[in-house]
Amino acid sequence: MSDPNEPRPAMPGPATPPEPPPAPPPSGATARRDALVRHFRSHGAYTRFALEQAARAAGYSDNDVAAAWTLIDMEDSGKAPAARSAAIARVVILVLYLATFVVFVAGSDMASKTSGVGVGILALTLLIAGGISLLIVGRPRVVSQNRVAAVAALLAIPFILLVIVAGLCVATTAPTFFPGPA
């Protein structure tokens, strides 16, 4: 019996009470999934088959049951949906991109060297790269349950994009950072 979905044969001895059915399904896919996850975890002594049958009898769909098991399996394997860390990553991206713009505009002589055109080009380039970075972080994926590792994984490509934009800015305008009085 290696299949976890296969029903277990009846064992001799005292009969175990039947698995209590879950509460009726709430509205909303996430609420239904979360209700099933709580129910499945609290009744872990029963087989998947028995839990699934009880959930279906209570009015849950096959999609609700599959979503609940997917989340349980992800959590048990040490992974989590990226949405938990994506909000932190979005804030970090916004701060890094804004700080880069401020350092290049306020902390260097780039505006005077490029007659102000460089500031506009830098702003547009950072806006495009920042938008791409936010899209990358926002796409659905699975990451580590360790929040620091998850945020670091989400920020890898956006950080590389930022370094490329900043490097190109330095290479093309050769600004002097924090110039002294002339």
Confidence of residue 124 (pLDDT cuts 50, 70, 90): very high
Confidence of residue 155 (pLDDT cuts 50, 70, 90): very high
Asked whether residue 110 is domain-assigned, the answer is yes
Confidence of residue 20 (pLDDT cuts 50, 70, 90): low
Asked whether residue 17 is domain-assigned, the answer is no
For residues 55-94, one letter each, b for 16 or more C-beta atoms within 10 angstroms of the residue's C-beta and e for the rest, the string is: beebebeeebbebbbebbeeeeeeebbbeebbebbbebbe
Lowest mean pLDDT, pick from 30-44, 75-89, 161-175? 75-89
Beta pairing partners, 108: 177
Compute, in degrees rounded to 10, the torsion defined by CA atoms 38, 44, 50, 56: 10
Average pLDDT over residues 6-23: 57
Domain that holds residue 112: 81-173
Q: How many domains does the chain have?
A: 2
Same domain (yes/no): 62, 98: no
Same domain (yes/no): 56, 119: no
If residue 135 lies in a helix (H) or strand (E), which one and from where to where?
helix 117-138
Asked whether residue 69 is domain-assigned, the answer is yes
Tell me the whole-structure pTM to 2 decimals: 0.56
More confident residue, 10 or 95: 95
Q: Is the pLDDT of residue 10 over 60?
A: no
Asked whether residue 120 is domain-assigned, the answer is yes
Asked whether residue 24 is domain-assigned, the answer is no
Other Cβ atoms closer than 10 A to 162: 20
pLDDT, position 72? 81
Same domain (yes/no): 44, 99: no
Same domain (yes/no): 102, 129: yes
Same domain (yes/no): 121, 62: no
Q: Is the pLDDT of residue 96 over 90?
A: yes
Q: Look up residue 17 and give its amino acid.
A: P
